[in-house]
Amino acid sequence: MSFLHPYLFFITLSWVTINLLPISAKRSTYIVHMDKSLMPKAFNSHQNSDELEALKKSRGFISAYPDSTMMLDTTHTPEFLSLNLGSDLLHASNYGQDAIIGFLDSGVWPESPSFKDGDITTKAPTKWKGSCKGGQDFNSSMCNKKLIGARYFNAGLKAELKGSFHSVDSARDDIGHGTSVSTIASGNYVEGASFFGYAEGTAKGVAPHARVAIYKVSWL
């Protein structure tokens, strides 16, 4: 830890280097990187097991973690969850086209490309008896053959809070949780999805052609 080194060493890197040098007579230990933004300071180094054990006895040592090769986070959720055995069933059902999945959460952001319906050729199943209710910043026309239902329930909450209710008064998701959960389960195909350029691919839910009905019951 940086506050444990003598004031003679103004630079933490110098203090760490001095502590590492006597650990290895063969000088196989060397610092790869030091992160100065962390408190306590952290560094990455190459060491063998004996050198690591010696370092653990140093004053100020907190912990050490081995470096390892990790896979990037995936946008292919079914494969990531090893659900390949159900692929034939999903294909036979046209990836859930006649299924209706309901979500009781924080609402929906209908503009998300995960709710597009361009590749869904049939109307909502005849068993569907729900509706799409408009409200603040949410028009009922935002529903389609993918997002077939959206409603919100807050009358009791508004009565309790009286004039201090400040959430979006509609099914629109203003915190993102409901949108995230519903697209994981049934989001349509979105090509070129990535996390700031990482793990680029085609994002999709487990049942990308399933219909979605979202009910906003969670409010902030």
How do the domains of the chain map onto residue ranges? 2-56, 77-216
List pLDDT tens digits, range 123-135.
999 999 999 999 9
Burial of 89 (0-12, 13-18, 19+ CB in 10 A): exposed
> Which parts of the chain sit beneath pLDDT 50?
1-11, 38-39, 72
Reading the block at residue 26, the tokens are 């063969």
The pLDDT value recorded for residue 63 is 85
List pLDDT tens digits, range 160-192.
787 788 899 999 999 999 999 999 999 999 999
User: Quick check: pTM over 0.75?
Assistant: no
Q: What is the CATH architecture assignment of 77-216?
A: 3-Layer(aba) Sandwich (3.40)
